[in-house]
């Protein structure tokens, strides 16, 4: 009985993960960048700006290097 419950919960989790809109994932990512930058800023103000710029630049590079989907 317990094994059946665990087996059914995995596909439900995958369906839930697919249902999350990309805007929410992007918002969570931006919040993470902001919190990391704020933490670095608490140590030293210029470190926060450097961290934010580096993380945003890395994100832009990762997005721009994605290969387009073949139709």
For residue 35, is it left (φ>0), alpha (ψ between -120 and 50) or beta? alpha
Alpha helix segments (H runs only) across the chain: 2-19, 22-43, 45-64
pLDDT exceeds 70 at position 70: no
So what's the pLDDT on residue 27?
Answer: 85
So what's the pLDDT on residue 3?
Answer: 52
So what's the pLDDT on residue 22?
Answer: 73
How do residues 11-52 score in pLDDT, each as one tens digit?
767 777 777 777 788 888 889 999 999 999 999 999 999 999
């Amino acid at each position: 009985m317990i094994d059946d419950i665990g087996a059914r919960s995995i596909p439900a989790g995958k369906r839930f993960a697919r249902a999350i809109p990309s805007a929410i994932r992007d918002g969570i990512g931006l919040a993470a960048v902001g919190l990391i930058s704020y933490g670095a800023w608490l140590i030293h103000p210029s470190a926060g700006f450097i961290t934010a710029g580096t993380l945003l630049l890395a994100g832009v590079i990762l997005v721009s290097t994605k290969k387009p989907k073949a139709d």
